[in-house]
Chains A and B, each alone.
Chain A
Amino acid sequence: MRIVVSLKPVPDLKHWNRLELDPKTKTLVRKGIPGAINPLDRHALEAALRLREKHGGEVVILSMAPEDSRPVLKEALAMGADRAVLLSDPAFAGSDTLGTAYALSVALERLEGVDLVLCGDQTVDGGTAQVSAQLAEFLGIPNLMHVSGIEATDGAAWLVRCQMEHGYITVEIKPPMVLSVTRDVGQPRYVTLMNILEADAKEIQVWSAKDLPMRESWIGLAGSPTQMGDLFVPEKKGSAEMLAGTPAEQAAQLADRLHRLGFC
């Protein structure tokens, strides 16, 4: 079984107080902010490792990011992935979800024999939750989202549990497929010191746009139909009004205000 985990390096949540928006490009200024594995992608990797432990095979990390993201991929390798492929090229810069999904899909075709592609349900920086569905569409294979459980069987249909608004459904589905997972799919394991040493021997392959049969007009800014209208940090506004009267009168006034504001 070959499982590919599509993993995104994102700014480390612990340094988000240092993050700023570039007013011109409408993007996050990531320089100087340590990277981390997107939190839900860690859960996706954990699910992949558990499947490999049960059924054997290989877990490959696939990521599209600048070269300085290597330490993030190294962490994924230390968690237990067998190898990593990093798509890194200035030509990819500015790709929106569609451009990203296209580039990843071309890389996945190059990887061959992939039974399962796992993603986190969404990222903490973009938060669009679109790449997994777009990726499946490019590859022409099924996609399920909000996955909280995966039961693989050899040769037969797998049972995949998906969270719904008021419960869950279990879907019978045959690989290959793209699944995007919630945190319920499995608590990520700790990286041990021995894992860190083992990761030194694992390979990170870097593929540029030219290494793959890509349509250049489908990647980067040219291949990205999304146009950012505006992006800004909301201004913090706050005011306080003291209610007067007895506790009962204050409660009545409060209920009235809340009612008028549409809360009840």
Chain B
Amino acid sequence: MDFKFSDREELLRKTVREYAEKEIPPYMETMEETGEFPTELLKSMGQMGILGVITSPEYGGTGMGHLARIIVLEELGRVCPAIPMALQVHHMCTYALGTWGNEDQKKKYLPPLAKGETMGAVAVTEPSGGSDVAGMQSAATLDGDKYILNGRKCFITNAHTADTWVVIARTSEGGKGLSAFIVEKGFPGAKVGRKENKVGLRGANTGELAFNNCEVPKKNLLGNEGDGMTIAIRDIVECGRPGMASVALGILCAVMEQAVKFANERTLYGKSITKLQAIQWYLAEILSDLEISRLLTYRVGWMLDQKMSPHAESALSKQFACEAAARSARKAIEIHGSYGIMKEYPVQRLLRDALVTIPAGGTAEIAKLVLARQAMTTYG
């Protein structure tokens, strides 16, 4: 096994870190206050190649792959986790289009998504819940050369900022009755609804999409009728879960740095608190969570680049890394004492951000369901 990153991957990390440290901080205070994603950054992120990291060069991307994507999201998240939260869903849109789109669809939608001229979203979850995909209510009926789409989608990342949505809706009864559609923001009958006011990842816009007799051209069916469940599940497993784990990696990295920084600066009883075993244990536990999460998540990226199916591994990385981010942020707050719950210190935001990653992109319980099935299959 080779656990060393290539020179190319190391340079990628360095490059994205430089970009993130310089370009993102000026927006962070406003993002936190307003809950708005800084769409001004899309152009430079498009020029950097960040938006098209898993899009083929043929369609304006770089095609660097899934491990590269994880590195990119982790480095952006180290500075501001809301940014990779929005981008990972943007990537889910590009991944769905790149994997299931036909030539015309890819040529039309992927280049502007890679350049940052448009932003993407994926809409699966409905008010009745996101875990029960087969139970969704939104429906599309074929009427001549267009589908008529009706329904509501909620908790959709990038709802208000995205221009291109991949929407899952029912075209017939049963588990195989779901289909995926490419819906443009401006299609008649498509509307953005309420904007959610989240406790964390505030700079990543989350909201509602409503379809009232929305007219979707027949040519905007993604894949075939009945492919919706496969597209939704594979997009979540191969892109959404590793994406969320990568956001958590960014949080964990920031938590580790903030914890060490504060512990080094803070003195008690005439000496640095790093001399206290209680603090050392916290630091050791945070580092363990960071490194374990990295190994789990990088493995998923590697598997995807090898064209392997990481169904259980993806669930494990997402579930472990997101919960690790939350418990580590909590420990970093303990190290900070009362300073940790003051808005001037980033650790309180990191805890809020980490909490949002746990249900986002699939709950921890659903991930554990996947893992339990894996355990029973492998060790039964």
Contacts and interface: CB of A to CB of B under 8 A. Distances in A.
Contacts of A194: 49, 57, 62
A194 B47 CA distance: 9
A78 B62 CA distance: 14
A74 interface: yes
Given A71-B7, A71-B10, A200-B8, A190 B62 contact: no
Interface in B3-25: 7-8, 10-12, 14-15, 18-19
B348 to A, nearest CB: 26
Contacts, number: 44
Contact of A74 (B11, B19, B57): B11
Contact of A75 (B11, B49, B50, B57): B11
**Which applies to chain A's interface (DSSP): helix, strand, loop or mixed?**
helix
Nearest to A70: B7
B370 interface: no
A199 B18 CA distance: 18
A197 interface: yes
B371 interface: no
B8 A191 contact: no
A93 interface: no
B7 A193 contact: no
Contacts of A199: 11
A194 B64 CA distance: 9
A239 interface: no
Contacts of A192: 15, 47-49
B53 interface: yes
B11 A197 contact: no
Contact of B48 (A71, A74, A78, A190): A190
B58 to A, nearest CB: 13
| Most interface-central of A70, A71, A193 (chain B CB within 10 A) | A193
A196 interface: yes
The interface size bin for chain A is: 10 to 19
A126 B62 CA distance: 38
A203 B113 CA distance: 32
B19 A196 contact: no
B15 A196 contact: yes
A196 B8 contact: yes
Interface string B79-116: 00000000000000000000000000000000000000
A193 B62 contact: yes
B158 to A, nearest CB: 21
Contacts of A190: 15, 18-19, 48
Interface string A188-215: 0011111011011000000000000000
Nearest to B50: A193
Contacts of B15: 78, 190-193, 196
A78 B11 contact: yes
A58 to B, nearest CB: 22
A119 B10 CA distance: 25
Nearest to A14: B17
B64 to A, nearest CB: 6
A261 B62 CA distance: 61
Nearest to B7: A71
Nearest to B72: A193
Interface string B141-159: 0000000000000000000
B291 to A, nearest CB: 18
B315 to A, nearest CB: 28
B196 to A, nearest CB: 31
A75 B14 CA distance: 10
Interface of A: 70-71, 74-75, 78, 190-194, 196-197, 199-200
19 contacts: A74-B7, A74-B8, A78-B11, A78-B15, A190-B18, A190-B48, A191-B11, A192-B15, A192-B49, A193-B49, A193-B50, A193-B53, A193-B68, A193-B72, A196-B8, A196-B11, A196-B15, A196-B64, A197-B8
Given A190-B19, A193-B62, 13 more contacts: A71-B10, A74-B8, A75-B11, A75-B14, A193-B12, A193-B53, A194-B62, A196-B8, A196-B12, A196-B64, A197-B64, A199-B11, A200-B8
